[in-house]
Structure 1
Amino acid sequence: MSQRNEDLQHFIDAAFVAFDKCVKDPQGRRSIAEIFSALERPGMQREGNGSRLPVCAFLADALSVHTSDPALRRIMELFRRVEPLLEWRQRTKYDAATASENFLDGHANAMIIGPGGLEIRNDLWFGVTLLAPRVRYPDHNHPPEETYLVLSDGEFRQEDGDWFSPGIGGSFYNIPGIKHAMRSVDTPLFAFWVLLAERPH
């Protein structure tokens, strides 16, 4: 196994431990169990180097979050190893009416596993979002259900409900098709998310 693939596998193992520890919602727990079970069957590996966007200058701050939880420290440590291989991208189609004016240059998403990820597959997506301070991500929705693991301060919203702060190590579940959004505070927002794009039979 190449060093690249070994680092990715170690990251996936650490991610399972962190999600399993932090996700409390029953639907979220069912979803992550299906996702990480599917990850036992590897997909096609993407070759090549990664690419960063200017907003990635906030990664160092985002990854220096202080936590005493060994599972969270481990996932962050192993993310640092795979991050240089990721292709960070902007969301270019969005609802400008619900986004902050600094959204376009103030955010980046990267697919770790899924379309364009380090492991290319369509049945599930495992990605990460970074927001610079004081950026509002626009309202959006998608058919797949989704579970977040948040590794920073920041606020989230579902439908037209109140904004809530999961906190470092917090988690929440989005049912299929629900409108949701996020926004950073005075510090960068950093969160992992997993989507079960294709439900198993």
Structure 2
Amino acid sequence: MKVLVVEDDKELAERIAAALTQDGMIVETVGEGNEAAFLGCTEDYDAAVLDLGLPGQDGVSVLRHWREHGCRMPVLVLTARNRWSDKLASFDAGADDYLTKPFLQEEVALRLRVLKRRALGHSSPILQAGPLSYDSNADRFTLNGELLTLTAQEKRILAYLMQRKGCVVSRSEISEHVYARDLDPDSNTLDVLIGRIRRKLGVTLIQTERGRGFCLTDGNDAV
């Protein structure tokens, strides 16, 4: 899950980024409204954490800009402002959730996962593909009821495939959602990671669509 954190308090932004990174997310931070408005419309993020009090453009203006330019990623407003007028302005501009400071770091991660799940049309936090289950709230995989051990990269890739179950996902799309902007893994790296995931699963769930990418299914189909 790739998240944009928009927060002008550098220390707070770093704490949020560290907590979300520890939770398995890819995080990019920005502390200025104009740059945030640009990034949200040009980069492919799964969700955003947005402060309201920003230099350049305030958070509501940034959010309105995103929505007016077709940016539909889920947005969690995270701010010290708890007035009803601020909440109303945020939701009117297109916010999906609103959390006031102080807050628990774990709650930010949980809310982001819920927003992402709902944006993909999943009502339950448990995603299923044959014998494989993914608890999106806990970010945990089980295979036939047993905990599946994966590296951080493997987990991010498999989580994205689970969220897009039944869809062919290109290599470039996987890279955009599981790697930071300053990393550009080649297709061979992704093939190696997909191969490792397949071996750990021990069942045919991930199909290769030649020239197109990968597709996770319930199994029983040829790769």
State whether TM-score is above 0.5.
Answer: no
Higher relative contact order (CA 8 A, sep 6+): 1
Give TM-score scaled by structure 2 length.
0.25
Higher radius of gyration, 1 or 2: 2
Give TM-score scaled by structure 1 length.
0.27
Structure with the largest fraction of strand: 1
